[in-house]
């Protein structure tokens, strides 16, 4: 059971480059989420998706784009990376239902130079 995976696990890029972080889950969960985690801020929601082709903004969406053409994939794109987007990015997924657990992927550590 592969669960939820993220790629790449580590990425170094330069300011202004486009970067796409991949997230894939094998559970057919309806909901998927992207968070970023920074010292002093904790985990913050970037975007989420309730189903294929349905996405919505979270707390910190600026500078990011998402898509969800298939239930199992939820890529996050930084269209023009900035140093402030240096962070650890976690993808998560869950079934329908407010008490359902969110399962997190292992994270992608992104450094923007």
Partner 1 sequence: RKEVEQDPGPFNVPEGATVAFNCTYSNSASQSFFWYRQDCRKEPKLLMSVYSSGNEDGRFTAQLNRASQYISLLIRDSKLSDSATYLCVATPGGGADGLTFGKGTHLIIQP
Q: Which is nearer to partner 1, 3 or 16 (CB)?
A: 3
Q: Is 99 in the site for partner 1 (CB under 8 A)?
A: yes
Q: Is 3 in the site for partner 1 (CB under 8 A)?
A: no
Q: Which is nearer to partner 1, 17 or 57 (CB)?
A: 57
Contact 55, 76 (CB under 8 A): no
Dihedral angle of Cα 14, 23, 33, 74, to the nearest 10 degrees: 90
Q: Which is nearer to partner 1, 19 or 92 (CB)?
A: 92
Q: Which tokens go with 25?
A: 């889950």
Site string for partner 1, 60-89 (x = CB under 8 A): ------------------------------
Among 81, 101, 100, which residue's Cα sits nearest to residue 89?
81
């Amino acid at each position: 059971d592969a669960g939820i995976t993220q790629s790449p696990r580590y990425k170094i890029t330069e300011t202004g480059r486009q970067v796409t972080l991949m997230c894939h889950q094998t559970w057919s969960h309806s909901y998927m989420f992207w968070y970023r985690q920074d010292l002093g801020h904790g985990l913050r929601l970037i975007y989420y998706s309730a189903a294929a082709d349905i996405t919505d903004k979270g707390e910190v969406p600026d500078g990011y784009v998402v898509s969800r053409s298939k239930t199992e994939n939820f890529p996050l794109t930084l269209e023009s990376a900035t140093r402030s987007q240096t962070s650890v990015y976690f993808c998560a997924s869950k079934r329908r239902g407010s008490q359902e657990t969110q399962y997190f992927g292992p994270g992608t550590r992104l450094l923007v130079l």
